[in-house]
Every structure is written in structure tokens, then in C-alpha cells.
Chains A and B, each alone.
Chain A
Amino acid sequence: MKTNLRVPFLAAISMLSGLVVLVGYFVTLPGLSDLRGLFLDWAVILTAVAAIVGVANLAKVHWRKVRTGQPGAVFSLTTLTSLVLTILVVIFLGGATSAWSLWLFNYALVPVEASLLAVLSVTLIYAFARMINRRLTIFNLIFAGTALFILITAFAWSGFDVFGLRDIRSWVMQVWAAAGARGILLGVALGAIATGLRVLIGSDRPYSG
């Protein structure tokens, strides 16, 4: 097994920058706040550079699919053509906010995403039915019953309130659902703190090493 000499160096940078940002979030000191702002600016710049690297990776993956004739190569060719077309439009026809760019956004990207949203609604109904079919437990029945109740009462006619269903709906959403959601979020927050601290103390290293 090889020993990577970069690891202690990278861990030290990670821990130091993480600590500055964390302490700077809670404590307002002039020098510390400036340093925190500088680190966050660097993070944003690096994320932007990573976006370019990521798009290059995406193009490379699809180009390989086209070159080797893998299943779905036609879709990969469409992706690559769209990518090149969009880049050319942004570079030569007035930038990202030009009329041409907005035309591409409004008449190509938005309809595709909207159609995926439509597919999603059908997928969710299908998944809902499959869940009932797959495992009929008391928790699934509560989950399904609550979802159906909230959906049905959401479409109630205005001025038509049978047995105070709207009040029951508000009560379910604002008391039971909100309390459950907060309980889950508290658990998630504790998990997030633990995960972040493991990176800060160098126990987890999401980078080489």
C-alpha cells in the first residue's frame, strides 16, 4: 500500500479553512469575517471552474458513447449537438441573456423539463399504487391514507365544507405533519453536524487519501 504524502497537507488545509468558516459564522470579528468571506468567494469561484470541468466530463462521456456505438448513442449525439449549439449561441449571438439564448431556454429547455414533470406525476401515481401492492403495512396505509386525504380536501369546492374537512386538513398538516417533519429535520441536522465535524477533525476525507 502506498502512502500519500499530500494527505496531511490537504487535511490541514481542509481543517483550517473549515474552522475559519465555522467560527466566523458564529463569532463576528473583523479579521475573521473578512477571511471567511474570502474563503467563501474562493469556494464559489472553484465551483464555477468545476462546472466547466463537469461539462467537459459530460461531453467526453457522451462522445465515447457515440464513438463506440453504445445503446442510446443517438440521444448522446443529440446531447452533444445541443451543447455545441448552445455554446455557439452564447458566444456569438450576444451572451447568456441575449434573445437567442432566451429563445433556446424558453422553447427547448423549459418544454423538455415540463414534459419530464408530467412524466413524474404519472410515475408517482404508479409508484403509489405499487407501494400498496408491494407491502401492505399499517404505516403504508397511514402514509397512503394521509396523502389521499390531503389531495382530496385540497380540491374541495369553495364554500363547500363537509364535516369540517378543511379544519381537519389544517389540523393534520399544521400539527401532525409539521411535528413529524420537524422531528425528522432535527435528526437530519444532528447527522449533518456530525458529518461536518468528522471532516473538520480530519476523520472523513472526501478527497484523495
Chain B
Amino acid sequence: MNWLGLVFIFLFAVLLLGLGAASRRAKRELREIPAFTRLAGGIGAAVESGRRLHLSLGHGGMLGQPGASTLMGLTILQRIARTASISDVPPIATSGESVQAILSQDVFQAVYQAIGAETQFDPHSGQLTGLSPFSYAAGALPVVYDQQVSVNVLTGSFGSEAALIADAAERTGSMTLAGSENLTAQAVFYACTEEPLIGEELYAAGAYLQAGAMHSASLMTQDIFRWLLIVAILAGAAARLVGVW
């Protein structure tokens, strides 16, 4: 039994719930991440100019380690779809994994239902473009090139093939925001895009896109546990240095 892991998760959950309740009462100032500031402006400009928003969810799926970044991508999709639902040109989501594609369609449908515009829902707005990393990237390229996209958001699990999508987005002159849990993809995004999200910045998206108090609470909880980990690492290194451990 791994009680330490379970206790860690339990404490994380308790703190998250407590801070979630506190966040509903008091709003917290967030440090500026230029990518999210530009995204908000980019969405507004796209809606005004009648151009499309494209969200690429990667190919990680829901099972295993990449699942969290996929979930984050779906949260961002929900926020973008809500904001852009008044546009003449609905947003489009591409995926490299079937469950993600189905969930992206579900998100679109839920958003249109919530605003009472179910007839506007188009099942083709959530597309599976390929089932292997490269076929997925190749399938997403026509969306970037041909669908008059002005903002590309790449959030989810990617590998080096993400460079093909990011490069296409840069060539069309559209704004690109990109983040992944994968280290290779993060390095690729740093080189290829103007607005890369490094490390945990991807998981902060919900708080910056005002997805709810729990997202702000998540950021605070992560900060607290990050400091605890830093202290633990330093204490461990010091103990090792003096020969105690």
C-alpha cells in the first residue's frame, strides 16, 4: 500500500476544496502571462473579423499521463467556444485520438445547448484528423491553411510533429498559443511559436480564461505544494550533504 501517495492526494484535495470556497468570496490577482492576454485579444479580433478559431487537442487521449493535458485542452475549448459562439464562423477542434474528438463535439454541443442555439451545432466542428501522430498533424494542416484561421491554440499531448502544425500557423500569420505536458513538444513550441506555455502554465489556462473559482484555487494549491516540494528537495539535499540521510 502506498499510503504516502494517497495522503498527498487527500491533502491536495482538501486544500483545493478549502481554497475553492475562499476563492468564491475573494478574487485573486494573477501574474501576467502574455500568451493569455494575447489570446483574449485574438479571440475578440477573430469574432469581429469573421475568422475562425482552431483548437488542436493533440493525440494523447484520456487514459494515462497525457489525460490531464487533454482535459485542460477541453476546458480551454469550452471557454473559447462560449466566447466565439456569437461569431458567424464557429470554432473548429482537431484531435488525433477518437475519444478526444467525441468529447470535443460534446463540448461544442453543450455550449450551444447552454446558449439556446442548438441548431448552430455542427458535428464536423470536432474532427478526428488522424490516428497516428504524423497523420494527425498532416490532417490538421488543411484546417490551418484553408479555413481562414486567425487564432490557433495547441493544447494537449504532442510530440515533435507539433512543429508541422505550429509552423503552418506561423506561415499563415495567425496567432499561435501552444502548451503541452510533453517536454519535447515544449521545446518545439518554444522554437516555433510566439506564445509558448512552459511547464505548468498550460494548467493555469482555466484561471486566466475565467473558467471558475476552482481553477484559481488550483493555482494557489499548486503554488503551496510547489513550495513544500522545494523545501523537501532542499532539506533532502542538505541532509545528504551532511551525511544524515
Interchain residue pairs with CB less than 8 A apart (29): A22-B9, A26-B3, A26-B6, A26-B9, A27-B1, A28-B1, A47-B62, A53-B102, A54-B95, A54-B101, A54-B131, A64-B124, A113-B132, A123-B163, A123-B164, A124-B163, A127-B166, A184-B198, A184-B199, A191-B200, A192-B69, A193-B9, A194-B203, A194-B221, A201-B13, A204-B206, A204-B214, A206-B75, A206-B106
Q: Which of B68, B72, B132 has the most CB of A within 10 A?
A: B68
Residues on B with beta carbons closer than 8 Å to the beta carbon of A53: 98, 102
| Closest Cβ neighbor of A62 among chain B residues | B139
Residues on A with beta carbons closer than 8 Å to the beta carbon of B194: 134
**For the complex of A and B, 5 pairs with smallest distance between CB atoms:** A191-B203, A54-B98, A192-B68, A187-B200, A194-B218
Given A70-B146, A192-B65, A194-B221, do A4 and B113 touch, yes or no (CB 8 Å)?
Answer: yes
Question: Nearest Cβ in chain B — how far from A178, in angstroms?
Answer: 11
Given A188-B199, A201-B17, do A143 and B190 touch, yes or no (CB 8 Å)?
Answer: yes
Residues on A with beta carbons closer than 8 Å to the beta carbon of B95: 54
- Are the CB atoms of A186 and B226 closer together than 8 Å? yes
| One of A88-96, A114-122, A159-167 contacting the partner | A114-122
The answer, yes or no, to whether A141 is at the interface (CB within 8 Å) is no
Name the contact of B181 in the complex, choosing from A1, A52, A57, A192 (C-beta under 8 A). Answer: A192
Residues on B with beta carbons closer than 8 Å to the beta carbon of A134: 194
CA distance A113 to B161 in the complex (A): 10
Within 8 A of A (CB), among B97-112: 97-99, 101-103, 105-107, 109-110
Residues on B with beta carbons closer than 8 Å to the beta carbon of A58: 127-130, 139
- Are the CB atoms of A26 and B2 closer together than 8 Å? yes
- Are the CB atoms of B161 and A120 closer together than 8 Å? yes
Name the contact of A61 in the complex, choosing from B9, B115, B127, B164 (C-beta under 8 A). Answer: B127
- Are the CB atoms of B229 and A186 closer together than 8 Å? yes
Given A1-B116, A47-B99, A206-B103, do A194 and B222 touch, yes or no (CB 8 Å)?
Answer: yes
- Are the CB atoms of B68 and A187 closer together than 8 Å? no
- Are the CB atoms of B68 and A120 closer together than 8 Å? no
The answer, yes or no, to whether A170 is at the interface (CB within 8 Å) is no
Within 8 A of B (CB), among A70-105: 70-72, 75
Name the contact of A27 in the complex, choosing from B6, B129, B203 (C-beta under 8 A). Answer: B6
Interface bracket on A: 35 or more
The answer, yes or no, to whether A35 is at the interface (CB within 8 Å) is no
Residues on B with beta carbons closer than 8 Å to the beta carbon of A204: 71, 75, 206, 214
The answer, yes or no, to whether B137 is at the interface (CB within 8 Å) is yes
CA distance A72 to B139 in the complex (A): 11
The answer, yes or no, to whether A148 is at the interface (CB within 8 Å) is no
CA distance A193 to B68 in the complex (A): 8
CA distance A27 to B1 in the complex (A): 5
- Are the CB atoms of B183 and A184 closer together than 8 Å? yes
- Are the CB atoms of A54 and B167 closer together than 8 Å? no
Q: Taking beta carbons and an 8 Å cutoff, which residues of A are in contact with B?
A: 1-2, 4, 22-23, 25-28, 43-44, 46-47, 50-55, 57-58, 60-61, 64, 70-72, 75, 112-113, 116-117, 119-120, 123-124, 126-128, 130-131, 134, 143, 181, 183-188, 190-201, 203-204, 206-209
The answer, yes or no, to whether B90 is at the interface (CB within 8 Å) is no
The answer, yes or no, to whether B191 is at the interface (CB within 8 Å) is yes
Name the contact of A117 in the complex, choosing from B134, B199, B202, B225 (C-beta under 8 A). Answer: B134
Question: Nearest Cβ in chain B — how far from A27, in angstroms?
Answer: 5
Residues on A with beta carbons closer than 8 Å to the beta carbon of B62: 43, 47
The answer, yes or no, to whether B177 is at the interface (CB within 8 Å) is no
- Are the CB atoms of A127 and B218 closer together than 8 Å? no
- Are the CB atoms of B198 and A195 closer together than 8 Å? no
| Closest Cβ neighbor of A187 among chain B residues | B200
| Closest Cβ neighbor of B126 among chain A residues | A57
CA distance A106 to B60 in the complex (A): 24
Residues on A with beta carbons closer than 8 Å to the beta carbon of B138: 116
